[in-house]
Structures are given as structure tokens and as C-alpha cells.
A and B are shown apart, each in its own frame.
Chain A
Amino acid sequence: MHATGFIAAMRLTIHRDLLIAFRHWGQVAQPLIFFVMVTTLFPLALGPDLATLRGIAAGTLWVAALLASLLGLELLFRADHADGTLEQMLLSGQPLAMLVLAKAVAHWLVSGMPLVLLSPVVAASLAVPRAAHNTVLLSLGLGTAILSSLGAIGSALTLGLRRGSLLLGLLVLPLAMPALIFGARAIDLSIHGDSPRGPLLLLAAMLALALTLTPPAVAAALRISAE
């Protein structure tokens, strides 16, 4: 018998998490429905004037995406913690940071990506012009990935706590604000016909930073929480 490499372990982790998600697809759909509902609140609250909606579309899309991804993050490690899988991951001898990265990727595939695919429809309802839809996809695509990795830290730190979901918001939202600033800025520039290149590149840089720096932090947080 030979030892499993960490690439194989990551692939197995992603496969397992995707399989679990597809067996409970109701849970996967909840943040999406929440995303659509929150974006519906704004036209109802502010009135159906299209020019107003176009003005707030970028901010609305981003705030709704931020809140929706917070909802999903709470579940990231909870089931694994409850049934002992997390202990097995800690004891497996595999680099924990890599397993965590795999879990974050799987989480993004089932929570971030559907939200991104849905976003042009929601954007159209907020009177975002057709030309800006690609920016919406890119901005939220990069953004939800950043949120998945930042949120994993909060999710690991609040594991098993009472009122964990409220605390998760308190911990993660301040960290996510830079992404919100540039993500919403990119969409806003695009709506007004300007090039969103600058903010999008900054978002991409943030994602690169998040992907390299957060997995060790999440691994450390899991070791603290799982004791």
C-alpha cells in the first residue's frame, strides 16, 4: 500500500464535498434564494425607477452576494465537526492547509459559482445594461472566491459556538470590505461605460493573496477549535 499524495487527497476531498452537496441540494439552493430575495428588497424599498436602480445596482449586487455567502459559510465545517470527519482530517497526515483549500474550492463550486451564474439575471432586473454583464460575472466570480477563503477563517474560528452565525458576520465582514469596495467599483464603472480593468485587477490580486495566505490561517484555526 502506498501513501496518498496531497494532490490526490485534495481531489478526493473536493469530490466528497461535491457529492454531499448534490445529495442535499436544498441546502445549496438556500443562499441563492436569499440572494435573489435581498436584491428584490431594494426595488420594493426604493421604488421601481430604473435610473435609481441602475445607480445602486453595483452596491446592491455586492452586498446581497456578501450576505448570501455568509449564510453558506456557516455550514463549511459544521457537519465535518459534528460527525468526526474533521478529526480524521487532522490525523490523516495530509497537509491540513491543502485539505482546507480543497474544501474552500468545493464550497465555492456549490455556493459561489451558482450565485455568479445567476447574477446577470438579477443584474438585468436592476437595469444594468447588457454591456456590463461580463463585468458583473467577473467581479462577483473573483469576489465570491475571496469571500469563500476569508470566510473559511471565520467559519473555522466560530466552529461549534452558540450564536456562531452572528459572530461569523462580525468577524468576516470587516475583512471583506476591501473586496466589496473594488468589486462594486468595477461594476459601477462598467455600468457607466468606463473600463473596469483597474478594480478587477486589484480584485484578482486580492484573490491571489487570499488563496495563498488564508489556508494556513484556516488550518491553525481548525486546530484551535477542534481540540
Chain B
Amino acid sequence: MAFTWFNKLASPPHAYRIAGRLLPWFAWPSGLLIAIGLYGGLVLAPPDYQQGDAFRIVYVHAPSAWLSMLVYGTMAVAAAIGLVWRIKIAHAVAAAAAPVGASFAFLALATGSIWGKPMWGTWWVWDARLTSELLLLFLYAGVMALRASIDDRDRADRASGLLAIVGVVNLPIIHYSVYWWNTLHQGSTLTKLGKPSMTGDMLWPLLAMLLAFTLYFGAVLLLRLRGEILLRERDASWLRAELAR
């Protein structure tokens, strides 16, 4: 009984319709919160006593880094559901999530690098956090490349899903080994600068942006999922009926 809605969710027509119905509930709050967060972060928050206005990039950087990890987790959980219960919609979710996560990882690296130029005096430092973010981007690249290289959709789904799960098992190992690698190497004093604990008027815009980015991911995922379903079900009769309405 309790599983009927879940089973319905697994059927492409229902997933397509539900995704369409949920979409505005993610998109509008996300847009509103981004506006509020950006105003709070770029206008209301005081400049940092040490970093001046340059710290304000954190309002994009930190949410991107958070999302890059959340999306990987989402992708791996969706892939696991798809592999274990053979639910095709779950694979479609994983396929829709991967490029979004890679974009967030790239955005986190790019904003980190832009922040690093005035702070560290160089575009790139082999800092543990930056390096593990880069490796995360490589993992995304592997999953996407594997999916793109396999013509058979079913095999592509399952192979890239398995790789995503292997990646999740490896992520903590990669994270800690990179962390130890840097500290073993006598981490430069620059990277020890650390984050100043924030005052309230700096913190609330950051929290707003974190929530906004998470909602944004939800909206983009739903939108991409609809696209993914359209692509996969392009020959299905329900789709013709759905689009004719």
C-alpha cells in the first residue's frame, strides 16, 4: 500500500508529470533566495577586516563546493536504487545529475582559484581542499565519459552507476589521503590562513545561498529529468498523448 506511490514514481509518465508539477516549488523559492542572499552578501554584509571585499566570493564558492558533494551523493544513491531494484527512472535521475554536479565542482574550483589570486598571490595552490575538489571533478568526468562511450542505454546506465558507487567508496579514502599528503608536505603557512569565524550579518546570507543553491539543484534536476525522460521515451505512445494535450 505504502509503496504504490513509489511504484507510480518509477513509471515514466508519472515521473514526468510529478517532476513538472514539483518544478515551480523549487525554482521560485530558489530564485527568491538567491536574490535575497546576494543582496545580503554583496551589499549588507560588512567587508572582512583582513580580506576586504574579496571574501564575498564565498557566497558562490561555498555553496558550489557543498553542492558538488551533495550531487555526487544523490547520483550514487540514485544509481544504487537503479541497480538494486532495476528502476529505470533512478538511472535517469543519475544521468541527469552528473553534468550538474560536474558544473558545481568546476564552479567551486574556478571561484576558489579567483579568490586565491588576491589572497595567496597565485591562481592555484596544491591545497588539500582544492586538490580533493579537483579529484571529485575527475570522478565526475569518469562517470560521464563511461556513460557517453556506451551505445546501449541499459548497459550505459548500469556501468556508470556501478562506477559512481565505486567512486563513493573511494571518496573518503581520496579525501583523507590528499589531506595527509598536504600536511605531510609541511603545508605552507598560506593555507593555514583558515576561515575566520563569521559574524551574524556575514553568516545569514551564506546560509540563504546554501539553501538557494540546494533548491536550485532540485529545480535543475527535475528539469533535466524531464528532458532525460523525453529522450528515453521518445517512441512511447503515452508521450505522444501527453504532448498532444
Contact = CB atoms under 8 A, between A and B. Distances in A.
Interface of A: 153, 157-158, 161-164, 167, 170-171, 173-175, 177-178, 181-182, 185, 202, 206, 209, 213, 217, 220-221, 224-225, 227
Contacts of A181: 177-178, 180-181
Contacts of B180: 181
Contacts, number: 71
Given A163-B149, A175-B166, A206-B173, A221 B138 contact: no
Interface string B110-146: 0000000000000000000000000100110110011
Interface stretch (B4-12, B154-162, B210-218): B154-162
B62 interface: no
B162 A157 contact: yes
B174 A161 contact: no
Top 8 nearest A-B pairs by Cβ distance?
Answer: A178-B177, A174-B138, A181-B181, A171-B142, A224-B158, A181-B177, A157-B159, A170-B142
A216 B22 CA distance: 38
Chain B interface size, as a band, is 20 to 34
Contacts of A209: 173
Nearest to B145: A170
A161 B158 CA distance: 15
Interface of B: 83, 135, 138-139, 141-142, 145-146, 149-150, 155, 158-159, 162-163, 165-167, 169-170, 173-174, 177-178, 180-181, 184
Contacts of A227: 155
Nearest to A172: B142
Nearest to B136: A174
Contacts of B146: 157-158, 167, 170-171
